Amino acid sequence: MNPVSRRNAVRLVFLAAATPLTTSMSFAAEMPLAIKGYDPVAYFTDGKPMAGRTDIEHEWNGHRYRFTVAEHRELFKVDPAHYAPQFGNYCAMALSMSLLVVADPENWLIDDGKLYVFGKPAPAGPALFQKDLAANISKANHNRSLLPKL
């Protein structure tokens, strides 16, 4: 066995220190799941919430979106801002009141071609939001700064 000379050992230490560490993609944290895995396009095309499939996903704006069929994924890719919920994973009504509440995708509303999701069913959530729709949308948009940054 050939022992490593002191000079070569020092060189190896400096070489190792100068080499940047790389991390494997498998160790990277996954992007958060958007709207609990529901297909955002299904609200528009099927008129109802539908759970997406794990094998049909697309990453956009810091989230993973799931879809029921590949065609929905392709529609989303073309215009994600149209199909994505206006306030991400958060309740539009709560945000209009300066609160953060994770939405339940089963409680939803489409108005003016935009999807809103809510934390509670009627009489709260969508029904309450619609009572003063323009004002609630304005308040929720004003409170966007409360939404977590990715």
Mean pLDDT by 10 residues, the chain (150 residues): 54 48 46 96 98 98 97 98 97 97 97 97 93 97 91
For the chain, the domain total comes to 2
Query: Of 85, 77, 35, 38, nearest to 60 (Cα)?
Result: 77
The answer as to whether 21 is a domain residue is no
Q: What is the pLDDT of residue 95?
A: 98
Tokens matching residue 42 = 């299904």
Specify whether 60 is located in the same domain as 99.
no
Q: Which two tokens stand for residue 51?
A: 């759970």
Q: Please state, as a whole number, how many other Cβ atoms lie within 10 Å of the Cβ of residue 13.
A: 10
In a domain, 9, yes or no: no
| Identity of the amino acid at 38 | Y
76 and 89 housed in the same domain: no
**Domain coverage including residue 89:** 85-144
Token code pair at residue 101: 């509440």
Predicted pLDDT at 6: 61
Q: Is 108 a member of any domain?
A: yes
**What's the Rg (C-alpha) of the chain?**
23
Pairing mode of beta strands 53-60, 63-67: antiparallel
Asked whether the whole model's pTM tops 0.85, one would answer no
pLDDT of residue 24: 36
